[in-house]
Amino acid sequence: MNVLLAFVAAGLFGCSVYMILSRHLVRVVLGLSLLTTAVNLVVFQAARSRATQPPIIPESATRLEGAADPVPQALILTAIVIGFALTVALAALVLRSWHASGTLLTTPSRPADTGDPAAPGGRT
């Protein structure tokens, strides 16, 4: 199971990096969204969540045995929310950019460069 998950995570990372490197902004957004998913899988796996028993202490017991660790679940939940918020913010930016420039491609000359086209490091 762990090996399978590791390969899935690796595949997701590869796909997302491929998409982020695209010239098309929507693909970049989708790639980043995929990247957060891949990271969540890594968090899940790194925490070695093997047990499926809920982490609730039964009555008459004082110790919890063999239960799933709730912390990685809390971490993933937080990471999902943050990833969602950032993806939405980025999508809004892309929409704005599309309204303003009429293109979704990262063309060689962009408005942020016009101040000084000869500047080194100004292009991404």
Partner 1 sequence: MTATWEAGYTVWPVVIPLVAAACTMLIRRRGARRWVMEAAVLLTVVAAVTLLVRVTAGGTMVMKFGGWGAPFGITFVADSVGALLTATAGVVALAVAVFARADIRARRRNAGFDPLFLGMLAAVNGAFLTGDIFNLYVWFELMLVTAIGLMTIDRRRDQIDGALRYAPMSMMGATFILVGIALLFGEAGTLDMAHLATVLGGRPPSMAVTASGFLLLAGFALKAGMFPLFFWLPASYHTAPIPVTAALAGLLTKVAFYAMLRVLVTVFGYGAGGALPGAQLLLAILAGATMLVAVLAAIAQVDVRRLLSFHVLGQVAYLVMALAVASFAGITAAIFYTVHTMLVQTGLFLAAGAMQRASGSHDLRAAGGLIREHPYFTGLFAVLALSMSGVPPLSGFWAKFLVFEAALDAGTVASTFLVVIALVTGVLTLYSMSLLWLRAFWNPRRVGHAGRRPIPRAMLAGVGIIVACTIGIGIAVDPILGLSRAAAAQLVGHERSATAVDGSAEVVP
- Residues in touch with partner 1 (CB under 8 A): 20, 25, 28, 32, 35-36, 39, 42-43, 45-48, 71-72, 75, 78-79, 82, 85-86, 89-90, 93-94, 96-97, 100-101, 110-116, 118-124
d(CA 90, CA 59): 48
DSSP assignment, residue 107? -
- Our CB check for partner 1 shows the closer of 53 and 85 to be 85
Radius of gyration of the chain (CA): 21
Sign of CA pseudo-dihedral 88, 27, 9, 52: positive
**In this structure, how many other beta carbons lie within 10 angstroms of the beta carbon of residue 25?**
19
- Our CB check for partner 1 shows the closer of 15 and 75 to be 75
**Cα–Cα distances in angstroms (integers) from residue 90 to residues 19, 108, 123, in the given order:** 15, 20, 19
- Our CB check for partner 1 shows the closer of 68 and 79 to be 79
The minimum distance between CB 30 and partner 1, in angstroms, equals 12
The minimum distance between CB 62 and partner 1, in angstroms, equals 9
The minimum distance between CB 123 and partner 1, in angstroms, equals 7
